[in-house]
Amino acid sequence: MKKVTDFLKTCGIGFYVTFAAIVTSIVCLILFGVGLSQGYQSWGSFVCLLVLILADVALVAFKKEAFAPAVSTILSALAIGFFIYVSYNYVAIVITGIDIESFNADWIMSVVFYVLTYALSVASIFVPWAKKDKQAIESKESE
């Protein structure tokens, strides 16, 4: 517990943003399971999100966390791309309004969380991962 507490003391906002991206990725995976039978969910997205989560955890574990934001951004972009590619027919059908007259909640939630994941991943690129980084940057900038 103390190790975790000590670790968190060193973490800057970047860590928390990346952590939030991992959480939203997990939500996307849950929504994937809920909506799989509807056919608008993509296995490509599933794989990307799973790799995103595992890679980020591994990078932190092996102290290569500097690459985590980039990995998150690329993989979340691919995930959202696969999702759009697979679900556009569903959108067309809903808009046509013959068979389905409105979007279901799972699809709407998926859109929200895919976008969130990507936005958080992008944000994590621009914020410092660790407090020491921030302090170092601030001291260098003051120099």
Partner 1 sequence: MSKKYTLSKALLVAFGSLAGVSLLAASICYQNTNAINSYLHLTNYVQVETGDGTADTTYYKTDYDSIADLVADTDDAIERIVEEGAVLIKNENNALPLSKGDNVTLVGIGSYNSVVTSTGSVSATSLTGREVNLKQGLEHAGLKVNQAAWDYYASVSDEYTPVRNGMMAPGPLIAAINEVPWETANAAYGNTLAQYGDAAIFNVTRVSGEGNKDMNHSGATDTPNGDALTLSNDERETLRGLKALKDLGTIKKIIVLLNGTATVDLDFLDDEQYGVDACLQVQAVGTTGFNGVGDLLVGNVNPSGKSNDTLWVHNSENPTLTNQLGYEFLNPDNLELHTPTDGQGGYEQHYVVYQEGIYLGYRYTETRYEDYVMNTANTGNYNYANTVAVPFGYGESYTEFSYSNLTTTYNRNTDSYTVSVTVTNDGDVPGKEAVQVYLQKPYGEYNRTNKIEASAVELVGYNKTTDVIEPNDSETVTITVDRRQFASYDAETNETYVLTPGDYYLAVGNGAHDATNNILAAKGYSPSNTNNRMDAAGDASLAKVIETVDTVDTETYSTSRTGQKIHNLFDDSDLNKNEHTKNTSPVEYITRSDWNGTVVLDPLDNNTNYTKITMTADLLADFRAGWDGSMLEQDDVEYPTYGVNAGISLAAMMQDTNGNEISYDDPLWDEFMDQLTWDDTVALLSEGMRMTAALPSVNKPATVDHNGPLGPTQPYTDGTLTSTYPSTAVLASTFNPALVDEVGELYGENALHCGYAGLYGPAVNLHRSQYSSRNNEYYSEDSFLSGYTAGRQIKAIQENGIYCYIKHFVLNDQETNRYGLSTWLNEQSFRELYLDAFDITIEVGDPHAMMSSYNRVGTRVSGAKSNLLTDWLRNEAGFNGFVVTDMYQLGSYGSLTFYLGLLSMPTGVFCGNDLVDGSITSANQFEPYREGYGELAWKMRESAKRILYTVCHSAGMNGVSTTTRMQYQLTWWQTTLITLDSIFGAAALGALGFFAYEFYRRNIKKEDSQAN
Query: What's the CA gap between 71 and 57, in Å, rounded?
Result: 11
| Three-class SS state of 64 | coil
Query: What's the CA gap between 143 and 8, in Å, rounded?
Result: 28
Q: Is 86 in the site for partner 1 (CB under 8 A)?
A: yes
Nearer CB in complex with partner 1: 9/99: 99
| Minimum separation from the CB atom of position 127 to partner 1 (A) | 10
Query: What's the CA gap between 115 and 79, in Å, rounded?
Result: 10
| Minimum separation from the CB atom of position 100 to partner 1 (A) | 5
Q: Which residues in 15-34 contact partner 1 (CB under 8 A)?
A: none
| Minimum separation from the CB atom of position 6 to partner 1 (A) | 25
| Three-class SS state of 44 | helix
Give the Cα-Cα-Cα angle 74, 26, 117 (nearest 5 degrees): 40
Q: Of 58, 66, 85, 105, which lies in the binding site for partner 1, with binding defined by CB under 8 A?
A: 85
Q: Is 77 in the site for partner 1 (CB under 8 A)?
A: yes
Q: Of 87, 116, 117, 120, which lies in the binding site for partner 1, with binding defined by CB under 8 A?
A: 87
